[in-house]
């Protein structure tokens, strides 16, 4: 690494605020990274995402591999050019999605919920070389291993690539988790080797810490990953069934990194209280489907800790409401429209509802992260987090 | 009428440009009116529609009657307040949608295409009093007649209300058309009477000219409607199977109005060449689903007369295109994105595609109408229309 990718500008306890440097510019940290899984943040075009205050989006290696294909995106000038987004992009490795097909819904599994059995299992084999599976698009047989994943991410031209890992589910034995984590480490070494030789200039590579909910496995994995010559560390896999356990598991993983200058990403976490907890543990970046997925279901993120910061606009109680979602919020849904109107649009399945609530939710998350950065810079993280937990922030 | 609703500022042949005055402000004419049938222009919030340069939108009496109900919208402060749109609103009468249920798809019928039989027929009775039908939402029995329609439009608080009419289909006898048109006239008188007594202050009322494709019936209907004490005239019903016939039928209807100061609306017409023809015949305002409906199917409106001004972004030929839809267009789809990206988004059924193409199509239509207004003011309508027909305008 010619220069450290992370400049830490302020610290408050274990939390830190700074700048993460990438070929397409800097990301102000701690940062929330909206999903542009399919090369678009749902209902928004790229320049709108920048206007909302986001420095980076996350592209999905697996989905873009299946459709429209990474070679196509490369021919179109890379993912930035393809989607008209000139700022940093992080791409996940595809491991999460590939293994979703084998383990049922990984999203359920890593939270310890049993798979209902309705998820199609389309994995053909998991071997040391990689994973063979069927495309959900056309049923064709496809393969993804560490080198494939790195090759796809190179073709996409992302600023930050993630190493290919097995996203170990919750409902497996300690022994399975240990063996799976070791294989993830071997895959990491192959990713590092491939990227050093053939990766695009300046692309950062993050390794992924696995180890399930086992303290020793997490500590070992963190030590292994952070010592493997990576530019950053991502924490993945099952973080347990409860928030208490999540704090514990992430604490083990973060502590195990051993070095203080490594940027740390937490995969798939985005609830308001979790962000407060995890920023306090020193996490720099987060990605999560929540803001846009909730929008699709008519649920706004609001300053209401007692309702888990969620407002279901489809509930009958909002039908006649002439209040905005949040009177302090500067988004168009709040400045120009009522809960009653959004209730009607959401119940009528109008696309305008999805868009307006997505704009609101992403405005909330951007404000929350800006507030956290300012609080860390001012040494007031605890007080600010308390304000958020009381419903007095981020607006 | 205290003052004339239309100020004609310029004429060019039978075409005219001016200002249509309503309680919520003026509409620059000739104007295209985007559909906000369900109290939203699909994927756009209201202030965006204003930013695109539109002065008026069309709300749908029938749909809003069914969901969320006009009483509800009235309690919420009226349709302007409900949807956050502070500019003029025209509401159709509900006749078109009510009769769609009886005649199959009116959109097909008025263009002379036979109904495939798959449309649910949910009309229970058509009588002098009005129409009894089943709600498409819950199957409940509902009634709409002239007074109901006016009452709904009063509750919505639209700036321009349309009288309740039977939208006579194409595949009926001349005799049926004559009797239906006469009933439409009787219904018009009831609408005028209701509105004079109970209509909201300042709301304009347009009568609807029917008469099918029969010159004498159209002439009679125009004379009747324009003499019935209305503020404006809308031309509805079947305009025939071909553009040639449409010009003829609209010509008869327009000529039959007899007075030159009456604002004239043409219902449901929005193809580029039709707008050129119809503006030349003296039509002031148009509404049509085309720009937003095409967007839903990934089709952009472009300067390509040979392809009927349409560009199907889903066609394989655009897959690798790095051109914008139209390099002269100022919309975000054209300024920031390629045909190749939009092709991918549309084929992947991404909502962002619908939104970006809707923004483009509405930008095109706004530019076209602004160009027509300027051309009329400059006495250059023929030259401008020729430029549009050659693909050299509106950008």
B75 in Cβ contact with B60 (< 8 Å): no
- pLDDT, tens digit, for every residue of A8-19? 999 999 999 999
Integer Cα distance of A90 and A265 in angstroms: 10
Instruction: Judge: A45–B336 Cβ closer than 8 Å, yes or no.
Output: yes
Q: Inter-chain contact A45–B341, Cβ cutoff 8 Å?
A: no
Q: Which residues of B touch A (CB under 8 A)?
A: 38-47, 67-68, 72, 75-77, 82-84, 319-320, 322, 332-333, 336-338, 340-341, 344-345, 348, 350-352, 354-356
Q: Does the distance separating the beta carbons of A333 and B72 come in below 8 Å?
A: no
Give one DSSP letter per residue of B366-381, joined into a string: HHHHHHHHHHHHTT-H
Contacts of B139 (CB under 8 A, 6+ apart): none
Contact residues for A245 (Cβ-Cβ < 8 A; gap 6+): A213, A239
Nearest-Å Rg of the Cα atoms of chain A is 20
Indicate yes or no: CB of B355 within 8 angstroms of CB of A354.
no
Buried b (16+ CB within 10 A) or exposed e, B21-45: bbbbebbbbbbbbbbbbbbbbbbbb
Domain A6-288 has CATH 3.20.20.105: yes
Mean pLDDT of chain A: 94
3-state helix, strand, coil in chain B (%, to 5): 45, 15, 40
Among the partner residues B40, B332, B352, nearest to A350 by beta-carbon distance: B40
Q: What is the pLDDT of residues B170-221, one digit of tens each?
A: 889 999 999 999 999 999 999 999 999 999 999 999 999 999 999 999 999 9
Mutate to test the interface with A, among B67, B138, B331, B336 (most CBs of A within 10 A): B336
DSSP A189-204: HHHHHHHHHHSPTT-E
Put simply, the answer to whether B38 touches A348 (Cβ < 8 Å) is yes
Give me the pLDDT at residue A30, please.
98
Sign of CA dihedral B26, B28, B31, B33: negative
The residue among B50, B68, B344, B356 with the most chain A CBs within 10 A of its CB, best to mutate, is B344
CB A270 within 8 Å of CB A32: yes
CB contact at 8 A, B193 and B262? no
Q: Whole-number mean pLDDT of chain B?
A: 94
pLDDT digits (tens, 9 = 90+) for B4-29: 899 999 999 999 999 999 999 999 99
Q: Given the residues A165, A277, A287, A326, select the one marked as catalytic.
A: A287
Q: Can A287 be counted among the known catalytic residues?
A: yes
pLDDT bucket at A171, cuts 50 / 70 / 90: confident
* Burial tier of A260 (Cβ tally within 10 Å: 0-12, 13-18, 19+): exposed
Q: Which residue has the higher pLDDT, A286 or A119?
A: A286
Interface test with A, best of B34, B35, B38, B40 (most A CBs within 10 A): B40
Nearest CA distance, A334 vs chain B (angstrom) = 11
Question: Residues B255, B258, B262, B264: what is their CA dihedral angle, to the nearest 10 degrees?
Answer: -20
Task: Enumerate the domain spans of chain B.
Answer: 6-288, 299-388
Q: What pLDDT score was predicted for residue A116? A: 43
CA B278 to each of CA B4, B26, B112, B247, B249: distance values in angstroms, whole numbers, following the listed order:
22, 21, 20, 7, 11
Taking contacts as CB-CB distances below 8 angstroms, the residues of chain A near B316 are none
Tokens matching residue A232: 């950053």
- Residue from A296, A328, A343 nearest B82 by CA: A343
For residue range A7-48, list pLDDT tens digits in order.
Answer: 999 999 999 999 999 999 999 999 999 999 999 999 999 999
Structure tokens at B317: 């030929």
Tokens 């208490």 found at: A244
Give chain B positions within 8 Å (CB) of A68: 319, 344, 348
State pLDDT tens for residues B266-306: 999 999 999 999 999 999 999 999 999 999 999 999 999 99
In this predicted complex, what is the ipTM? 0.94
- Global pTM reads 0.95
Is A216 one of the catalytic residues? no
């Amino acid at each position: 690494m010619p220069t450290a990718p992370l400049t830490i500008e302020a610290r408050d306890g274990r939390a830190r605020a700074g700048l993460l440097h990438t070929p397409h510019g800097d990301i102000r940290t701690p940062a929330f990274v909206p999903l542009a899984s399919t090369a678009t943040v749902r209902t928004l075009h790229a320049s709108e995402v920048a206007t909302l205050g986001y420095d980076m989006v996350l592209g999905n290696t697996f989905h873009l591999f299946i459709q429209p294909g990474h070679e196509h995106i490369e021919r179109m000038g890379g993912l930035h050019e393809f989607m008209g987004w000139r700022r940093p992009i992080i791409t996940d490795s595809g491991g999460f999605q590939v293994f979703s097909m084998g383990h049922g819904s990984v999203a359920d599994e890593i939270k310890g919920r049993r798979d209902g059995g309705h998820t199609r299992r389309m994995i053909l084999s998991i071997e040391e070389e990689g994973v063979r599976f069927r495309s959900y698009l056309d049923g064709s047989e496809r393969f993804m291993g560490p080198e494939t994943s790195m090759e796809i991410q190179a073709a996409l031209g992302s600023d930050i690539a993630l190493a290919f890992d097995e996203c170990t589910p919750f409902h497996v034995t300690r022994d399975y988790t240990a063996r799976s984590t070791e294989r993830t480490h071997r895959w990491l070494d192959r990713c590092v080797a491939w990227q050093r030789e053939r990766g695009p200039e300046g692309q950062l590579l993050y390794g992924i810490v696995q180890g399930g909910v086992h303290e020793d496995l997490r500590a070992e994995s963190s030590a292994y990953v952070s010592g493997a010559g990576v530019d950053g560390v991502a924490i993945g896999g099952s973080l347990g069934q409860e928030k208490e356990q999540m704090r514990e598991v992430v604490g083990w993983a973060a502590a195990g990194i051993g070095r203080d200058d490594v940027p740390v990403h937490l995969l798939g976490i985005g609830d308001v209280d979790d962000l407060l907890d995890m920023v306090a543990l020193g996490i720099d970046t987060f990605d999560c489907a929540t803001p846009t997925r909730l929008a699709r279901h008519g649920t706004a993120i609001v300053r209401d800790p007692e309702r888990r910061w969620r407002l279901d606009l489809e509930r009958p109680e909002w039908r006649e409401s002439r209040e905005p979602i949040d009177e302090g919020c500067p988004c168009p849904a709040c400045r120009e429209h009522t809960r009653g109107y959004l209730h009607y649009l959401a119940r009528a399945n109008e696309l305008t509802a999805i868009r307006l609530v997505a704009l609101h939710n992403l405005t909330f998350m951007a404000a929350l992260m800006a507030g956290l950065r300012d609080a860390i810079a001012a040494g007031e993280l605890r007080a600010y987090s308390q304000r958020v937990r009381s419903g007095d922030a981020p607006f």
